[in-house]
Amino acid sequence: MENLPGVSLLLEMSIYLLFGFLVAGILKLFISSEYIAKHLSSGGFWDTVKASAFGVPLPICSCGVIPVSEHLKKSGASNSSVISFLVSTPTSGVDSILATYSLLGPLFAIFRPVAAFAGGILSGNLVSIFTKNDKIEKQPELSQMCEADIAEKKSFKEKTIMALKYAFFELVESTGKWIMIGLVLGAVISFAVPQNFIADYLSNKFVSYIAMLLIGIPMYVCATGSIPIAASLVMKGMSPGAALIFLIAGPATNTATIAFIAGRMGKKTVTIYLITIIIVSVFFAFLFDVIALKYGIDFSRAHEHSAIFPNYLKLISAIALLALIIRPYLKRRDKMEGEKFYISDITCSHCVKTIEEAVKKVEGVENALVDVKKKELTVKGKYKREEILNAIRKAGYTV
């Protein structure tokens, strides 16, 4: 059974993903968005460096980074710092770095965060040079964006429980669907794409670069969910540099992020953002291919280092990961009567948590429930409608 493409990918990734989620939970708990915002307000070169450095290890997905970036912007972070954070954060993350290592080996696992870091610095500084970089007065009431903002008031035991809940419940719930989609697509590529297809149609390295950019830029895919797809393409013979482009451009860009940047920071900024990602991903892809060719690295066998783990441990980890991914779909969310609000950019459980917590803080609200499929918020209570709308917008969403 482990010879089946999707099952094989799952077995290889599971141990690394579970450990990555644990480390990510600890990081997310102890590095608050308020702490980050405090260091990103001047708009200088070092702010873009710090924004990129903060963003690389944080386990925030392509959609989750939008409300966090909105919070940072409203907390006083400069536009250049926010763009740096938007580029570096969804591209990487401690969980995706470990998962990249599990399927594609150490060179991919090194190049990916380095490219994210470089892209963040370059994009932020270009925004600082070519656009008016206005700062916004800090609004402390937005601190609901991150549980870590109140972590210092809790005991060590409470902090540990919060970290575990975030790591294995909230984070898995946010990324689980995309991990499964990535595994399924990876299995389809491995099973259905003929061995000579890439050699026949994508043998030219630069043609494959362009193809990956055209697929990756508009597509929504999280940093972890993109890995099985890239691994399957590499095993079919695609240039590893082209796969790296997909790993960078896919998570860093999607239509929702592009719309957010255009609406909040202008067309010039979104143009810089896209051009930077294209330049950085192609540059690192070319460098990657040069190194791979020079040293004759065989990436189709890169995952074999995981043989150090016994098969039973891989199986237990895979079952545990699947159980955590399936868990949210077994939960029953009660229906509730109340006023409905349509929120177009709801995409995952991170959105649910952020919006519900923000709205429940409004005076007079008795309860608030978000339906991801319908992109709908239901609010019950005696409240001022304008305050609900403001709470949703301050949380970084469009209502």
One-character DSSP codes across 135-179: -----GGGGGG-GGGGGGGS-HHHHHHHHHHIIIIIHHHHHHHHH
Q: Give the CA-trace dihedral at 188, 194, 200, 201, to 10 degrees.
A: -20
Same domain? For 345 and 207 the reply is no
SS percent in the chain: helix, strand, coil, step 5: 70, 5, 25
Single out the residue in 323, 352, 376 at which a domain terminates: 323
Same domain? For 378 and 286 the reply is no
**Structure token digits, residue 116:** 């994210």
| Amino acid in position 136 | I
Say whether 125 sits in a helix, a strand or coil.
Answer: helix
Residue 384 maps to a domain: yes
Q: Over its length of 399 residues, how does the chain's per-residue pLDDT go in tens digits?
A: 555 656 777 888 888 888 878 887 787 677 666 677 677 766 678 889 988 998 898 877 766 677 677 767 766 788 888 899 999 998 888 888 998 998 898 999 999 999 999 999 999 999 989 886 544 444 444 334 444 444 456 777 888 888 888 888 887 887 788 788 888 887 887 777 776 777 677 778 889 999 999 988 887 778 888 899 998 888 888 899 999 999 999 888 877 788 778 877 888 999 999 999 999 999 999 999 999 988 888 776 655 555 567 888 989 999 999 999 898 877 655 667 888 998 887 777 677 878 888 899 998 998 888 887 788 889 988 888 999 998 888 777 887
Q: Residue 238: which of 97, 104, 98, 111 has the closest Cα?
A: 104
d(CA 113, CA 109): 7
pLDDT of residue 145: 41
Same domain? For 99 and 143 the reply is yes
Q: How many domains does the chain have?
A: 2
Single out the residue in 268, 296, 323 at which a domain terminates: 323
d(CA 369, CA 376): 8
DSSP states along 13-46: HHHHHHHHHHHHHHHHHHS-HHHHHHTS-S-SHH
- In degrees rounded to 5, what are phi and psi of residue 398? -100, 125
pLDDT of residue 225: 85
| CATH code at position 342 | 3.30.70.100
Residue 399 maps to a domain: no
d(CA 321, CA 391): 34
Question: What is the reported pTM?
Answer: 0.76
* Residue 348: domain span: 333-394
Single out the residue in 292, 323, 354 at which a domain terminates: 323
| Amino acid in position 164 | L
d(CA 142, CA 152): 17
CA 129 to chain centre: 27
Same domain? For 351 and 232 the reply is no
DSSP states along 277-322: HHHHHHHHHHHHHHHHHHHT--GGGGGGGGGGS-HHHHHHHHHHHH
Query: Count H helices, E strands: the chain?
Result: 18, 3
d(CA 295, CA 328): 45
Same domain? For 362 and 389 the reply is yes
pLDDT of residue 135: 46
pLDDT of residue 311: 85
The answer to whether residues 131 and 296 touch, using CB atoms and an 8 Å cutoff, is: no
